[in-house]
Amino acid sequence: MSYQVTVIGGGPSGLMAAIAAAENGAKTLLIDKGNKLGKKLAISGGGRCNVTNRLPQDEVIKHLPGNGRFLYSAFSVFNNYDIIDFFEGLGVGLKEEDHGRMFPVSNSAKSVVNALLNRLEELNVTIRTNSPVEAVHFGNEEHTVIMANKEKINTNALIIAVGGKAVPYTGSTGDGYAWAKKAGHTITQIYPTEVPLLSKEPFIKEKKLQGLSLRDVSLSVLNNKQKAIITHRMDMLFTHFGVSGPAVLRCSQFVVKELLKGAKKVTMEVDALPDISEEDLYNDYLTNIKENPKKTVKNVFKGVVPERYLDFLLEKNDIQSDDRSANISREKLANVIKDLKHFQFEVTGSQPIEKAFVTGGGVSTKEIVPNTMRSKLMEGLFFCGEILDIHGYTGGYNITAAMVTGRVAGMNAAWESLAT
Ligand SMILES: Cc1cc2nc3c(=O)[nH]c(=O)nc-3n(C[C@H](O)[C@H](O)[C@H](O)COP(=O)(O)OP(=O)(O)OC[C@H]3O[C@@H](n4cnc5c(N)ncnc54)[C@H](O)[C@@H]3O)c2cc1C
Q: pLDDT by residue (tens digit) across 335-388?
A: 999 999 999 999 999 999 999 999 999 999 999 999 999 999 999 999 999 999
Could you identify the atom of ligand 1 that is nearest to the CA of residue 387? 26
In short, whether 32's Cβ falls inside 6 Å of ligand 1 is yes
Average pLDDT, the chain: 96
What CA–CA distance (Å, rounded) separates 13 from 381? 15
Helix (H) or strand (E) holding 275, with range, is: none
Q: Cβ(52)–Cβ(381) under 8 Å?
A: no
CA-nearest residue, atom 38 of ligand 1: 162
Q: Give the pTM.
A: 0.95
Q: Cβ(268)–Cβ(342) under 8 Å?
A: no
What percent of the chain stands above pLDDT 70? 100
Q: Model confidence over 258-280: pLDDT tens digits? A: 999 999 999 999 999 999 999 99
* DSSP alpha helix (H) spans, 123-262: 176-182, 202-205, 246-260
In short, whether 399's Cβ falls inside 6 Å of ligand 1 is yes
pLDDT at 72: 98
With a cut of 80, say whether residue 420 has pLDDT above it: no
Q: Which amino acid is at 344?
A: Q
CA-nearest residue, atom 46 of ligand 1: 171
pLDDT at 186: 98
Could you identify the atom of ligand 1 that is nearest to the CA of residue 385? 26
Residues in the chain: 420
Q: How many CB atoms lie within 10 A of CB 401?
A: 33
CA of 332 to the centre of ligand 1 (A): 50
pLDDT-derived band at 46 (thresholds 50, 70, 90) equals confident
What CA–CA distance (Å, rounded) separates 405 from 234? 29
420 or 325, which is more confident? 325
Could you identify the atom of ligand 1 that is nearest to the CA of residue 132? 42
With a cut of 80, say whether residue 163 has pLDDT above it: yes
Average pLDDT over residues 399-410: 98
Q: Is 301 left (phi over 0), alpha (psi -120 to 50) or beta?
A: alpha
In short, whether 360's Cβ falls inside 6 Å of ligand 1 is no
pLDDT at 293: 87
Average pLDDT over residues 240-266: 97
What CA–CA distance (Å, rounded) separates 126 from 19? 11
End-to-end C-alpha distance for the chain, whole angstroms: 18
Query: Per DSSP, which regions of 142-241 are E strands?
Result: 143-147, 152-160, 191-193, 197-198, 213-222, 228-238
pLDDT-derived band at 205 (thresholds 50, 70, 90) equals very high
pLDDT at 187: 98
Average pLDDT over residues 107-126: 96
CA of 163 to the centre of ligand 1 (A): 5
pLDDT at 3: 98
What CA–CA distance (Å, rounded) separates 362 from 122? 33
- Pocket residue to mutate for ligand 1, from 8, 399, 407, most atoms within 8 A of Cβ: 399
In short, whether 361's Cβ falls inside 6 Å of ligand 1 is no
pLDDT at 79: 97
pLDDT at 45: 85
CA-nearest residue, atom 48 of ligand 1: 171
Q: Model confidence over 317-337: pLDDT tens digits? A: 999 988 898 899 999 999 999
Q: Model confidence over 285-317: pLDDT tens digits? A: 999 999 988 999 889 888 899 999 999 999 999
Q: Is 188 exposed, middle or buried (0-12, 13-18, 19+ CB in 10 A)?
A: middle
Could you identify the atom of ligand 1 that is nearest to the CA of residue 53? 11
In short, whether 113's Cβ falls inside 6 Å of ligand 1 is no
CA of 140 to the centre of ligand 1 (A): 30
With a CB cutoff of 8 Å and minimum separation 6, the contacts of 127 are: 10, 29, 30, 32, 37, 117, 120
In short, whether 192's Cβ falls inside 6 Å of ligand 1 is no
